A and B are shown apart, each in its own frame.
Chain A
Amino acid sequence: MRITVSRNARALLASLLVLSLVAACGGNESQPNVAQVRVGAPTGPNAAVYFMARGYDEDDVLVSASTDVAGSVEFHETTTNDDGTMTMQPLPSFSLPAGGELILEPGGRHLMLIGVDDLKVGDTIDVTLTWQNAGEMTVEAVVVDPADTMGDG
């Protein structure tokens, strides 16, 4: 379950490229810009998908998600309680304010793939996101080692 340095570097380059494109095109978008889409290699029946979405000139809401490689997809949020314990709870949707961002990351919000297929590090999967206003879009998620889902190498 190790990811090679070169793959890390490539992923970083790719996300930098996407970010600079976002910066270059900022303001004229009519749909969310979704970058750094990654899914932790499954270690059990479920897996979590993370990404960073940048808002455009309208408020939008991610209302559903689907993928061929899982039975269903749920919206979850992990929160920390007063005593330091952590809880994962379902949410109905994720909102993306105009010009704002929606960050899905470990220890926070994620798309949970329920009953996921066996995915290997380096594989890619298609995830279809349905936004209330922007409609459907399909993004490609890279399968990474769980240690790399946080994006700190």
Chain B
Amino acid sequence: MFANKTTRLLLLLVAVVVLAACRSGTSTGELQGTVLDVPQEKGSFVLTDTEGAPYDFASETEDSLTLLYFGYLECPDICPVHLAQIAEVFDQHSDLAREAKVVFVSVDPDLDTLEEIREFLDNFDSRFVGLTGTHEELAAAQEAVGVPPARIFGEGDEYTVDHAGWVIAYAPDGLSYSIYPFGTRQTQWTNDLQVLAALESE
């Protein structure tokens, strides 16, 4: 009887402590993004960076914590939020910022120039890599990493771009364990980037 009560009390205490730890925003060691059932290998593709040079995604980001996002510059609603949240984590954790590669791919090569992509990213962190390419190259890149291809339709007022709203994260071991849909909170980013950075390749 007593033992049971004590056990229950202990369990309750543990639960409270665990909850408190989560609340305080310290790293829990657990991923808080959308965890994939099966970790995905890093896809490989080549696009053009903002200097106009070819960028081989798989080899440039090898052994680095990598965040990959497909968007477009006229997107003022969700694209800047992801990038600003990641930049905020880097502001507070310079060690992470040094090792991580953040790669933004513009899926709108007809409107977004290399210079504009660079200017856009400099709003967040000048280390962020900006890429784009031809429509064919972009389609191949999106297929290689398993995101639905962005679709552009209409003109003028009716002009819209459908694009994947989530960021793909790859740990330094080259695997993606989790993705980050729109609506990911700052505390989740802060936690998960630290957890992922610790998953070194052997």
Contacts and interface: CB of A to CB of B under 8 A. Distances in A.
Interface residues of B, number: 37
Given A1-B124, A87-B162, A152 B185 contact: yes
Q: Does more than half of chain A's interface fall in helix, strand or loop, or is it mixed?
A: mixed
Contact of A146 (B83, B150, B161): B83
A40 B88 CA distance: 15
A149 B185 CA distance: 11
Contact of B78 (A1, A44, A107, A145): A107
Contact of B186 (A87, A90, A152): A152
B80 A40 contact: yes
Interface in A45-73: 45-48
The 7 A-B pairs with the shortest beta carbon distances in the complex, nearest first, are A146-B80, A147-B84, A86-B165, A146-B84, A43-B123, A46-B76, A44-B73
Interface of B: 73-81, 83-85, 87-88, 91, 116, 120, 123-124, 148, 150-151, 157-158, 160-166, 181-183, 185-187
22 contacts: A1-B84, A1-B87, A1-B123, A40-B76, A42-B76, A43-B80, A43-B83, A44-B116, A48-B77, A76-B77, A80-B165, A84-B165, A85-B148, A85-B165, A86-B78, A145-B88, A147-B85, A147-B88, A147-B186, A150-B183, A150-B185, A152-B187
